[in-house]
Chain A
């Protein structure tokens, strides 16, 4: 069996986490974050022309890099995708915040109305607002929040999500409809204020 110490460690952590050990997640998270972040940046610098980032390709690549292919169970694989979706969300929000921050001149306390308008018009602010709405959703309905996270941030299909959450694909579709409608409502309402 050929695996690097890092691969071995991550594969092990995934197994522990799948087995219910929550503290394994704390160790896993930064390792996967670093890798996904690095890949995303590298991918972007290479793909300058297209400027598109395919989440599924990215996560797959991270998976191939980080996880020992021969010693991993399929169940752990879906856990990896679940955590990756969460991390992709984190990475994008971190960047969106940094952008918003930079635009305000490095964190000046006062934001003039004009500048605020600039900041809130971009994709970054859209993501930040979506993230906030998702946090509220998580308190109301954790599973529907996962569905959005896995689909929108993790690039997973409904069938894959069904596998991760142990529900039927129909349930995923229903969850998605409800969550999306609610998020849309939240974002359009707060957007017109």
Chain B
């Protein structure tokens, strides 16, 4: 083909694909005239265009696809060996895996010597092989922990057994501040309480000349029983030491190391101070900046700095003033002043000590308490509070999912089996839905299939199927909400209705047992986190949800590739989340009831 011929073809192709099939044929025929071979080439290209877009040809990115080529399997360093339940590590017996973070995996374990339960963090080889960093960490963690400040996570032991470096700390039953943020945030007094406690921890650490360097919501936990805040991982962040101006090379090495520390690559640079972003020496005021960023996020619901790329974000941190906090009765002007002062670009203009900032926040907190006695009710929009409360419930669910295994086990031991059956017609409109989850796992080459009533921990490649039925007729929609993406917006996939299951209909008759998704399974992919399977069971069909059927394609995993549709779902969930479902779990079935014409229930799926 000559470039001229190409130009000719592409000119016709470009306009032709925008037309519908009849118009297109006419257009192509007219443009090509008597040149049959031109017409045939254009037609073939149009057909290729259709197929390529159906198959999403070169739709992803090459590196993702070719990643395995870059490294040979035998070159890959061994991953930190996963510990099994019941396995012993020194004097600790692993009870179960709690999760994984940037630094390694975390297990719930029992210390046999002292008979206490601990969190055991097994550091990844990546972290533990860095001798200098480990040395520093060992030292700083010890000092921070020895401060005995109630808001600093206590470290019991730092040890090494069988080549595994681990850290035994007190175990906190609760959720991270990140979880709380995901659920739309906290009430103002709670925000202040949390930040005040973080500052108290920092104040004690800074007194002892320890800088945290990686203050972010993932490193803050809120204990469930008393809402006490614990700051984690003191000293674990990569140090960015003060160096002589001559040693620019080394400093830059440190800088880049800092940026590429595990877990820092994606997203978490957002809490970095300008001096960290420019790899200058840091001191306690860096932590104050990061605390300011968190306070901002807790109040505004969005991070103050966050560009489409790392580069953009860094430039924003260094140069851009964040947008002012939304003005509302719930966010007093004084808070704007405090946040701005904590986030002054120049460290000299910031609060110089954590204590100063703490005092300002505490004063404000007292003033809010003392103001009108009904501050909370008048200042914070009532509707909003309902949502916030629900948000907290959701955050708790994350932790609940972690413990679900045990709950399920203990229930399992009881021989009582209550089968949910049709109840007498309720006086007020109410929706009832029962569900169970069939799990198919592949372990050691064996397939195992069983059915549970609730949430368990899943691993990559595990498969599940949802069984749902109701004594009532209605319309059922099942959506999967995956782990949030970078900008904090959830992504939904449609699991039901699909064009194949239930004859392509969302309509459910009384006591019909629906298997979702039809004959296939939902499979956990490699992305980890907490997902939710939203059950929506309505008395009347919802046209916007009906329309989701077209996205239920196996190739795309049911991804809803439409912004407006995603937005609708988000709003729908928010609007119908105000009444709380009544949940009853038996051995194999969970029954959910909710007043009104719409039942909405998220099944949390903890996924490692």
Contacts and interface: CB of A to CB of B under 8 A. Distances in A.
B248 A2 contact: yes
B64 A92 contact: no
B10 interface: yes
Contacts of B61: 54-55, 151-153, 155
Contacts of B67: 44, 51-53
B262 A46 contact: yes
B45 A153 contact: no
Label chain B's interface by main secondary structure.
helix
A158 interface: no
Contacts of B46: 181
A133 to B, nearest CB: 11
Contacts of A88: 62-63
B115 interface: no
Contacts of B248: 2-5
Contact of A152 (B53, B58, B318): B58
Nearest to A37: B70
Interface in A155-193: 155, 174, 177-178, 180-185, 188
B71 interface: yes
B279 interface: yes
Interface size class of A (residues with CB under 8 A): 35 or more
Interface in B38-58: 44-46, 48-49, 51-53, 55, 57-58
Interface stretch (B136-144, B307-315, B406-414, B548-556): B307-315
A44 B265 contact: no
A65 B256 CA distance: 6
Contact of A130 (B58, B71, B280): B58
Interface in B232-285: 248-249, 251-252, 256, 259-260, 262, 265-266, 277-280
B403 interface: no
A182 B266 contact: no
A92 B526 contact: no
B69 interface: yes
Contacts of B63: 40, 53-55, 58, 88, 92, 153, 155
Interface size class of B (residues with CB under 8 A): 35 or more
Most B C-beta atoms less than 10 A away, residue of A7, A64, A188: A64
Interface string A39-65: 011111110111111111110110111
Label chain A's interface by main secondary structure.
helix
Contacts of A7: 252
B277 to A, nearest CB: 8
Nearest to B280: A2
A41 B71 contact: yes
Contacts of A141: 3, 6-7, 10
Nearest to B266: A57
Contacts of A113: none
B224 to A, nearest CB: 29
B448 to A, nearest CB: 22
B9 to A, nearest CB: 8
A28 interface: no
27 contacts: A2-B251, A4-B249, A44-B67, A44-B70, A48-B77, A52-B64, A52-B67, A53-B70, A55-B63, A58-B63, A60-B310, A65-B256, A69-B278, A69-B311, A92-B62, A92-B63, A92-B66, A124-B69, A127-B62, A140-B1, A151-B61, A152-B61, A174-B14, A177-B17, A181-B48, A181-B52, A182-B45
Given A52-B67, A77-B311, A141-B6, 18 more contacts: A45-B77, A48-B79, A51-B68, A52-B64, A53-B64, A54-B63, A60-B309, A64-B259, A64-B314, A65-B259, A92-B62, A152-B62, A153-B62, A177-B49, A183-B52, A184-B49, A188-B48, A188-B51
Interface of B: 1, 3, 6-7, 10, 13-14, 17, 44-46, 48-49, 51-53, 55, 57-58, 61-71, 75-77, 79, 126, 248-249, 251-252, 256, 259-260, 262, 265-266, 277-280, 309-311, 314-315, 318, 460, 526-527
Sort A-B residue pairs by CB-CB distance and give the 7 closest, nearest first: A181-B49, A184-B52, A53-B67, A4-B252, A185-B48, A95-B69, A60-B310
